[in-house]
Structures are given as structure tokens and as C-alpha cells.
Amino acid sequence: MEDIKTITPQELEEKIEAGEKLEIVDVREDEEVQHGMIEGAKHIRMGDIPEKLDHFDKDKEYIFVCRSGNRSNNVCHYMQDQGYKVRNMVGGMLNWTGEVIVK
């Protein structure tokens, strides 16, 4: 099994501040994202990913985010097995120090 690429919360914040166009997907549950999400992230619950594969483009890289980095790592393995380019934000939102938006 191929290793999952990772990105730290600090690296992600720097990319956002630099204006890079990123595909960020927050896989936490509804009640978790109510406390705030990274601006620009799409919210697709982990359990909904398999039925939402048509929302993803195999030519783009997706950065997956959850609370601690464990669920997003599992999603990354699944998505990589399906042929998608993925990166896991290690430490999850627990280590995110950047701005969040509340929806």
C-alpha cells in the first residue's frame, strides 16, 4: 500500500495565505463543523464519501481534514485506492491555528 502524502496545518495555512487554489474537504460530522471550518473547505461527511465520488476530479489533489487526522487518513486511503490524488492534514482541526468560519 502506497503511503499517504501529508500536509501540516501550518503548511496548509501558508498555502491559503499565498492564495493557492486548493481542494480542501472536511470529513467531520455535522455537529463538529458547526464549531468552525477552514474557509473554502467543502463539507462531505466521511460516511458519505463513497456515494459522492462523482464530486471529485482525478486530475486534482484533495486535502482531507477531520478533528484529529485519523478519519481523514482513512478517507485518504480509500480515495487513493480509487485513483484520486490525496493529502491528509496531520493533527486535524485540533492543531489548526488559522481562521475558521462558522456556517
Q: At 29, which CATH number?
A: 3.40.250.10
Strand partners, 37: 101
**Number of domains comprising the chain:** 1
| pLDDT value for 103 | 72
Q: Within a domain: residue 49?
A: yes
Domain with 51 in it: 5-95
DSSP for 2-52 reads PPPEEE-HHHHHHHHHTT---EEEE-S-HHHHTT-B-TT-EE--GGGTGGG
Of the residues 37, 66, 86, 93, which is catalytic? 66
Q: Is residue 100 part of a domain?
A: no
Q: Is residue 102 in a domain?
A: no
Q: Is residue 24 part of a domain?
A: yes
Confidence (pLDDT) at 6: 98
Across the beta sheet with 42-43, the strand order is 5-7, 85-89, 61-65, 23-26, 42-43
Q: Which pLDDT value is given to residue 46? A: 98
The reply to whether 65 falls in a domain is yes
User: Above pLDDT 70, what percent of the chain?
Assistant: 99
Looking at the domain assignment, is residue 83 inside a domain? yes
Judge whether 66 counts as a catalytic residue.
yes
pTM of the model: 0.96
